């Protein structure tokens, strides 16, 4: 039987397939690329966790600032004995709550710069007290045992009440 030349060429192209070597090389290249992407997952998860933790701590500081501003200025020193507890959403909770993750303590003192007291008792200020107090919000994360507290300073002005 005589087939035209163009028909034979077309038939040879249809029967062509990948060799075993080509398949193995393609799988090697794909696995190398996927391995690189999988190796980035733990770093991405850790970064995501740290970002969520930082956002929650910012919410706790904002909540603390709101509570401090509602406190009469002459009673701010009492905050040194306060311990507060918060959950993973930055909402207040109790120490016995299983959802409690953050423990917060407060340190109250005069505003200082480089060891020199800047604000002291001012007789012209309302209530004859300092113009402002420095309150440090110390946040401890229960999920990071042994870690030091993150400290956030808040300057509370004396608004006269």
The per-residue pLDDT string of the chain (161 residues; one tens digit each, 9 = 90 and over) reads 565 655 555 555 566 788 999 999 999 999 988 998 888 999 999 999 999 999 999 999 999 999 998 998 888 889 999 999 999 999 999 988 898 999 999 999 876 555 565 655 555 555 555 678 889 999 999 888 778 899 999 988 877 66
Alpha-carbon Rg for the chain, nearest whole angstrom, is: 33
For 102, the enclosing helix (H) or strand (E) is strand 100-109
The three-point CA angle 137-138-143 to 5° equals: 135
Among residues 158, 149, 132, 5, which one has the least CA distance to residue 84?
149
The three-point CA angle 116-121-125 to 5° equals: 125
Domain-wise residue ranges, the chain: 5-157
């Amino acid at each position: 039987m005589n087939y035209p030349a163009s028909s034979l060429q077309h038939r040879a192209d249809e029967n062509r397939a990948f060799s075993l070597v080509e398949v193995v090389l393609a799988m090697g290249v794909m696995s190398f690329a996927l391995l690189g992407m999988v190796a980035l997952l733990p770093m991405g998860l850790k970064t995501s966790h740290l970002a969520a933790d930082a956002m929650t701590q910012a919410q706790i500081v904002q909540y603390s600032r709101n509570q401090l501003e509602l406190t009469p200025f002459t009673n701010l020193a009492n905050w040194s004995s306060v311990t507060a507890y918060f959950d993973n959403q930055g909402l207040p909770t109790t120490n016995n709550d299983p959802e409690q993750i953050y423990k917060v303590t407060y340190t109250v003192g005069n505003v200082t710069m480089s060891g020199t007291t800047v604000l002291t008792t001012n007789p012209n200020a309302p209530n004859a007290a300092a113009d402002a107090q420095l309150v440090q919000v110390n946040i401890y994360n229960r999920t990071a045992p042994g870690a030091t507290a993150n400290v956030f300073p808040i300057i509370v002005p004396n608004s006269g009440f």
